[in-house]
Chain A
Amino acid sequence: MAATLKRLVPVLLAAATLTCSRGPRLVIGSKNFTESDLLAEIVAQQIERRTGIPVERRLHLGGTFVCHEAITTGAIDLYVEYTGTAFTAILKQPPIADPDSVLRFVKAAYERQFQLRWTAPLGFNNTFAILVRHADATKYGLQTITDLARVAPHWKAGFGYEFLERADGFAGLAARYGLRFSQPPTAMDLGLTSRALADGKVDVIAGNSTDGQIAALGLAQLADDRGYFPPYQAAPVIRSAVLEQYPKVAAALAELGGKISDSEMRRLNALADVEHRDIADIAREWLTNRLQ
């Protein structure tokens, strides 16, 4: 017994030192929906294969504000954010339409206020998708959000908590389009909204335009004809200090710039949400095929 213990001690010490190693390391976070997890995984694997730096994933942390809190306090080093979201929700600017202006503003403000660097946008625009059931769209001739205002008084809406709270969320949308529903919108976990819509518990929700389930669940997206929503270009946001510490990371991230189109993102989301494939596998497969 004593002999076994004696032999265990060096093993335990070695294990302890290994886990407490202070070698290079990056922490990547993501928001609480599939696309964010997928992008975080793609970025994480890209960094690992190009730089050899181990990456710790902290996926599905919470909403926008939770991730922003996490990166500004240094709990995470990187996450993928959307320009429009940063512009209106974090920086509290009234929405504008030009993608380049939004990106320029956000880049400058983030560097100045938070010491965070915006790297190259990934190539797609994920805007809020106001979704209704396909059958309803056909029946009531709904193609735009203006059309929605017609039927809203007889309808029920359901939204996630973040959309209800954000300046570029429900309140602004309702004001711009004159939307008045039969009762205040039902608040629920964002992930449940598509199911609630499909089941008929609510009649309109705010999803993402790159959602994988839109086609699968028989949903239709209404066009933002009054241009309420700002552009939402996805791009990795990283702490400036970290980028300076690991310059190789910049090249790895730059390689991802412009590589994912709208339809490509939708395809990847569908692989996860509709076919229920493993996120790490999807990311690995994409990186191997797309980037070599």
Chain B
Amino acid sequence: MNVVLDVRGLRYELQGRALVDDVSFAVGAGETLVLLGRSGAGKTTTLRLINRLITPSAGDVRIAGDDLATQDDSRLRRRIGYVIQEIGLFPHFTVAENVGLVPRLERWSSTRAEQRIRELLALVGLDPVTFGPRYPHQLSGGQRQRVGVARALANDPPLLLLDEPFGALDPVTRLELQREFRALVARLRKTLVFVTHDAREALLLGTHIGLLESGRLAFLGTTNEFRASPLPQVRQFMDSAA
């Protein structure tokens, strides 16, 4: 297995409390690790430790073998896709400008960037001609989420981090996007760490599941192993997915 993301002994303390405590996992190429857990379990914190939006108190993170602590944070993050629940599209940028953000930061030629933007918008199911010049406030929630995904993929990152990206959508749109997303990820062969509190989403999208409870991993294994696990915390989540 080709390890894309290797996390060892990750720990994050805030005001004496450990929000993440001794978390270790490895994600191989093409795998999707879902970090599952209740609110406050430390899922988002773990995610933000991976792209160093916050600094770990202990432990290390390696992406494709490089120790992140030795790299410049901003440059590093351009090689990692990041999608958050509120999406955070720049309201004063068009859809095309939003998707083209990282190519712009990386100083791509305008032809290369334009082509990539067109490609990505088509990939997420948005017609580039219609949607390219639009502004985020002119889009629906589902459309905005698609743009967010396209934006994260712009620089063709080996790793994508997603924090409850479909959480703010209505159930019908959410299901539609989940399905499309799964197909997209399989097609592009991307490696993902995906945070959610929804067990059904975890089962649908994940190849592996890590169950976080009070900052520690209560379970780490494949999705099938999760389904069959006798652990009470796992059973609780499985029941909620039924």
Report if A and B touch in the complex (beta carbons < 8 A).
Answer: no
> Residues on B close to A: CB < 8 A?
none
List chain A positions with a Cβ less than 8 A from chain B: none
